[in-house]
Amino acid sequence: MRKASSTQQSEIVGYTVVRRDTDTNASLEVSGQWLRDARIKPVEQVVAELESRPVKRLSILPVELADWDSRLPSYLLKIADYCVAKAIELDVSAMPQGVQDLLALARAVPERSGARRREERAPFLANVGNSVLNLIEDSRQLVIFLGELILAVGEVLRGQARFRALDLFIFVQDAGPNGFPIVSLISLLVGLILAFVGALQLAMFGAQIYIADLVALGTVREMGPLMTAIIMSGRTGAAYAAQLGTMNVNSEIDALKTMGISPMEFLVIPRMLALVLMMPLLTLYADLLGILGGAAVSYGAFDVSITQYYHEITKAVDIVDFSVGFFKSVVFAVLIAIAGCMRGMACGRSASAVGDAATAAVVDSIVYIVVSDSLITLILNQMRI
């Protein structure tokens, strides 16, 4: 508080006065303290005053000018720009030598023509058009990425892809075992929730035993693969985008290309392989935990014995249901890897671009996952599988 009041008492002020010497000559007197915190009349007002009665020549005169810092030259630079635009002769020779030198330095290198970027508010329709063009560009990138990826997969199948086995192990470790805790927690809880929601309805007509069917079918065919995929897109897809994005920022991807090593084979393939290998296993594990969660609810809250529950499950799901879940998890793995790696490879060269890439990777992969899940479920439904 003391500080605030003291600055109020001794306020720092810089003054400007426009004086008209003759019809064509004017002078601008600057006085007082021209410091960073000083209160000074906005330069626009001075320009407006000059504008009101145009002159041919303007002199800047110091009158009891005390301290000054960058505030003064920047103020004068603005006036100098105005003078150049209006072809007014500007005389600063009365100012302190330091001010003159700084002004001369600021004007030594003329602004590069076309260097300044104008911030224009685009009209609404232009924005719409731009978003459509961006969308088309994004799709084009995706097609190019997919094409290169397919070629790289071809190399893998021919056994000629170049990547380090060690990398693959690291990615497998990261995408598989390291994901256990979160997958365990989420799938157990989803199993519990599924059981509770269903059981409340089923208990109304005494059909609690069918909780087992509901949980088992729901988990194995839908929730297991879906929840695992969503966890992995946030855990691993985002990590891939950030890793590749950072490598891009650091020119590491350029370095690989100029070494004649395809980044697609060296960086993308091991990541995708790791996900494709680990996701089905994680999904199976999630299925198991989801069913366990259902068992806890049926046994604990609805008086279904574990044996009954187990027996009901063996009747409810067969190998076909597991295959459906398995198939879905492979599809999701490929989609997560594509979204993560593509966004990472197309990342811009700044810290915020890496963040954007990770965000976009997660958004993309969740969209891909949910849309493809719906499509697969629809098709399987039509085929009565």
For another protein, the binding residues (CB under 8 A) are 80, 89-93, 100, 103-104, 107, 112-113, 162, 246-247, 250-252, 254-255, 257-261
Compare residues 56 and 162 and give the one whose CB is closer to another protein: 162
Q: Minimum distance between the CB of residue 204 and another protein, rounded to whole angstroms?
A: 57
The least distance separating another protein from the CB of residue 119, rounded to whole angstroms, comes to: 18
Write down the least CB distance from residue 250 to another protein, Å: 6
Which three-class secondary structure string do you get for the chain? CHHHHHHHHCCCEEEEEEEECCCCEEEEEEEEEECCCCECCCHHHHHHHHHHCCCCEEEEEEEEEEEECCHHHHHHHHHHHHHHHCCCEEECCCCCHHHHHHHHHHCCCCCCCCCCCCCCCCCHHHHHHHHHHHHHHHHHHHHHHHHHHHHHHHHHHCCCCCCCHHHHHHHHHHHCHHHHHHHHHHHHHHHHHHHHHHHHHHHHCCCHHHHHHHHHHHHHHHHHHHHHHHHHHHHHHHHHHHHHHHHHHCCHHHHHHHCCCCHHHHHHHHHHHHHHHHHHHHHHHHHHHHHHHHHHHHHHHHCCCHHHHHHHHHHHCCHHHHHHHHHHHHHHHHHHHHHHHHHHHCCCCCHHHHHHHHHHHHHHHHHHHHHHHHHHHHHHHHHCC
Q: Cβ closer to another protein: 39 or 107?
A: 107
Instruction: Decide whether 112 or 384 has the Cβ nearer to another protein.
Output: 112
The pair of structure tokens assigned to 302 is 């609805």
Least CB distance from residue 258 to another protein, whole Å? 5
Q: Which CB, 188 or 269, lies closer to another protein?
A: 269
In the complex, minimum distance from the CB of residue 100 to another protein, in angstroms, rounded to a whole number? 7
The least CB distance from residue 80 to another protein, in Å, is 6
Task: CB nearer to another protein: give 84 or 379.
Answer: 84
Question: In this complex, which beta carbon is closest to another protein, that of residue 66 or of residue 255?
Answer: 255
Q: Give whichever of 75 and 285 is closer to another protein, judged by the CB atom.
A: 75
CB of 261 to another protein, least distance (A): 6
Find the shortest distance in angstroms from Cβ 60 to another protein. 10
Nearer to another protein, 5 or 258 (CB): 258
